[in-house]
């Protein structure tokens, strides 16, 4: 979007068909990167189905790289939770009960 | 066994009239000389996922060691973005019941179906129904008097045939390959006893119903869950021992099972398992005699999930489905970012298949 610096070290991205679900999780993961100076997201209007993600980097690094790394890390996080959940479901001892519908 | 100790940064303080220390601070650069950068190995060691309770309808599990943004993403996806199949188009040929057509159509949409959405394709517009994207049900029901009803009968079930239009009256019409595809689990409502309309002699309903795949953000009828919610773990810290004569009063300030009182010594302690069930009502903070004795808080990264399934998924399958949806969203954005890096550089990438 407009407002990006020439070297893409600071830029705002518009992601269509996404909301707080991805916005907040992605913002958190980008902020976990020590090369990131600032990251924030917004839903500019509740009736328009897109989000803005602003990333500003230290040392003129590329914000696209940071975005890409964050997406990869988020994917790895999802896999880790999935594995942990499945192993708990299989191996843990937990209460089983019958619920009437 | 006592309650585990938590780092002060992990606790969200619950005071009498305010909540303190709300935002998480585990970001690089927040604390000098501390490493808070993302590390998958650290995350994997700290992560704890534990199933606590499982029934045929609901599941309770804990996710420990993730940020609220991640837990909330899964909660939101479970409610609004895990696909299911529900009735979307209703073609009414005859409806002489007292329920208006549009009200009946809306009701039918809300009936949970047992159809596994995985092999079903999304249907893009009302016109192009195929055996891959639409499941058809037919309804043909007519209420009549029972000829052999006893003279003194007053109950509708004694007097009439079909006095209620129930969800069991939706008859699946297999089309194309569907007969094979759903051979072991023929499509039907999960609950066969939902009353959709009441009928009296002479009234009849005849219609075709088209069920399609959709997501909860489009319409709540597509949501696979009745509820999907999380709480964060309550934490109670007793700062100095409670006077024995006040022990029972202290216990009554919390939900049952949260506080243990030794029957002999009247010594008060927190039940490490029961504390999960505390409502954090703050009742104890209203009593001046307990001032300075106790500190209430919640553990920031400890999420107690409760998910009630309502539809085709067994409860333990809903989180993995949500994770799959999350991963496909990430993959889609990733493809967009890659196209942006290698693309013409006008800063605009249009993705297909969204």
Residues of B in contact with A85 (CB under 8 A): 49, 51, 61, 319-320, 323
pLDDT the model gives residue B304 = 96
The pLDDT of residue B351 is above 60: no
Residue given tokens 């790289």 in the structure block: A65
The pLDDT of residue B41 is above 90: yes
Average pLDDT over residues B321-343: 92
User: Other CB atoms closer than 10 Å to residue B19's CB: what's the count?
Assistant: 11
- Note whether A97 contacts B50, CB cutoff 8 Å: no
CA neighbor of B4 nearest in space, from B273, B301, B292: B273
- Chain A: nearest CA to B332, how far in angstroms? 10
- Note whether A32 contacts B338, CB cutoff 8 Å: no
Average pLDDT over residues B272-286: 94
The pLDDT of residue B148 is above 80: yes
Distance CA B135, CA B107 (A): 17
Burial class (CB in 10 A: 0-12, 13-18, 19+), B183: exposed
CB nearest B330 (choices: A33, A74, A81): A74
- Quick one: pLDDT band at residue A100, thresholds 50, 70, 90? confident
A52-76 b/e (C-beta count within 10 Å ≥ 16 → b): ebbbbbeeebbbbbbbbbbbebbbe
Mean pLDDT of chain B: 92
Comparing B346 with B286, the larger pLDDT belongs to B286
Interface of B with A in 53-112 (CB under 8 A): 53-58, 61, 63, 66-67, 69-70, 72-74, 76-77, 80-81
Average pLDDT over residues B25-32: 91
Give the Å distances, CA to CA, from B127 to B92, B123, B134, B168, B333.
17, 9, 11, 27, 30
CA neighbor of B261 nearest in space, from B4, B253, B117: B253
- Note whether A97 contacts B55, CB cutoff 8 Å: yes
The phi, psi pair for B181, rounded to 5°, reads -60, -40
User: Other CB atoms closer than 10 Å to residue B231's CB: what's the count?
Assistant: 16
For chain B, how many residues are written? Answer: 354
pLDDT digits (tens, 9 = 90+) for B180-205: 989 889 999 999 999 999 999 999 99
Rg (CA), chain A: 18
Name beta bridge partners: A97. B55
Structure tokens at B114: 């047992």
What is the percentage of chain B residues whose pLDDT exceeds 70? 95
The phi, psi pair for B24, rounded to 5°, reads -75, 150
pLDDT digits (tens, 9 = 90+) for B48-67: 999 999 999 999 999 999 99
pLDDT the model gives residue A6 = 84
pLDDT digits (tens, 9 = 90+) for B89-117: 999 999 999 999 999 999 999 999 999 99
- Quick one: pLDDT band at residue B353, thresholds 50, 70, 90? very low
What is the percentage of chain A residues whose pLDDT exceeds 90? 87
3-class secondary structure, A27: helix
β-strand A36-42 against B225-238: which pairing, if any?
unpaired
DSSP string, B138-181: EEEEE-EE-TT--TT--SHHHHEES-EEEGGG-EEE--TTHHHH
Distance CA A86, CA B51 (A): 9
B282-291 LR contacts (CB < 8 Å, sep 24+): B282/B14, B282/B16, B283/B253, B283/B254, B284/B250, B284/B253, B284/B254, B285/B15, B285/B16, B286/B16, B287/B249, B287/B253, B289/B246, B290/B242, B290/B246, B290/B250, B290/B253
CA neighbor of A16 nearest in space, from B333, B11, B211, B255: B333
Structure tokens at B251: 């216990």
CA neighbor of B316 nearest in space, from B61, B9, B14: B61
Distance CA B300, CA B296 (A): 13
pLDDT digits (tens, 9 = 90+) for B245-262: 999 999 999 999 999 999
Q: What's the predicted TM-score (pTM) here? A: 0.91
- Quick one: pLDDT band at residue B213, thresholds 50, 70, 90? very high
Average pLDDT over residues A55-82: 95
Average pLDDT over residues A32-55: 95
């Amino acid at each position: 979007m407009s407002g990006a610096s020439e070297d893409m070290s600071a830029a705002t991205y518009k992601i269509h068909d996404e909301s707080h679900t991805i916005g907040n999780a992605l913002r958190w993961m980008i902020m976990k990167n020590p090369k990131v100076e600032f990251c924030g997201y917004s839903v500019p209007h509740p009736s328009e189905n897109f989000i803005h993600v602003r990333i500003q980097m230290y040392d003129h690094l590329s914000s696209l790289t940071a975005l890409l790394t964050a997406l990869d890390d988020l994917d790895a996080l999802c896999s880790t939770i999935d594995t942990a959940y499945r192993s708990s479901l299989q191996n843990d001892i937990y209460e089983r009960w019958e619920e009437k519908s | 066994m006592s309650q585990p100790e938590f780092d002060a940064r992990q606790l969200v303080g619950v005071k009498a009239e305010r909540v303190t220390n709300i935002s998480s601070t585990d970001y690089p650069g927040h604390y000098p000389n501390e490493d808070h950068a993302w590390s998958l190995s650290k995350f994997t060691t700290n992560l704890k996922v534990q199933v606590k309770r499982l029934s045929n309808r609901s599941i309770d599990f804990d996710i420990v060691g993730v940020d609220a943004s991640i837990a909330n993403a899964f909660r939101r996806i479970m409610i609004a973005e895990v696909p299911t199949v529900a009735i979307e188009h209703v073609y009414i040929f005859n409806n002489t019941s007292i329920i208006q057509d549009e009200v009946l159509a809306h009701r039918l949409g809300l009936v949970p179906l047992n159809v596994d959405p995985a092999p079903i394709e999304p249907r893009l517009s009302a016109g192009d129904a195929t055996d891959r994207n639409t499941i058809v049900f037919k309804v043909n029901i007519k209420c009549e008097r029972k000829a052999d009803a006893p003279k003194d009968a007053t109950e509708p079930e004694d007097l009439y045939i079909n006095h209620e239009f129930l969800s069991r009256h939706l008859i699946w019409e297999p089309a194309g390959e569907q007969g094979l595809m759903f051979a072991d689990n023929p499509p039907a409502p999960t609950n066969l006893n939902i009353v959709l309309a009441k009928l009296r002699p002479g009234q009849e309903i005849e219609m075709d119903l088209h069920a399609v795949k959709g997501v909860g953000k489009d319409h709540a009828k597509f949501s696979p869950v009745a509820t999907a919610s999380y709480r964060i773990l309550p934490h109670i810290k007793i700062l100095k021992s409670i006077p024995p004569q006040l022990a029972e009063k202290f216990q009554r300030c919390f939900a049952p099972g949260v506080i243990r009182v030794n029957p002999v010594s009247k010594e008060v302690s927190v039940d490490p398992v029961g504390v999960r069930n505390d409502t954090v009502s703050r009742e104890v903070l209203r009593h001046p005699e307990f001032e300075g004795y106790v500190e209430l808080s919640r553990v920031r990264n400890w999420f107690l999930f409760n998910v009630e399934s309502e539809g085709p998924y067994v409860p333990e399958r809903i989180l993995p489905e949500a994770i799959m949806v999350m991963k496909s969203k990430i993959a889609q954005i990733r493809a967009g970012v890659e196209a942006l890096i290698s693309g013409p550089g006008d800063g605009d990438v249009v993705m297909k298949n969204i």
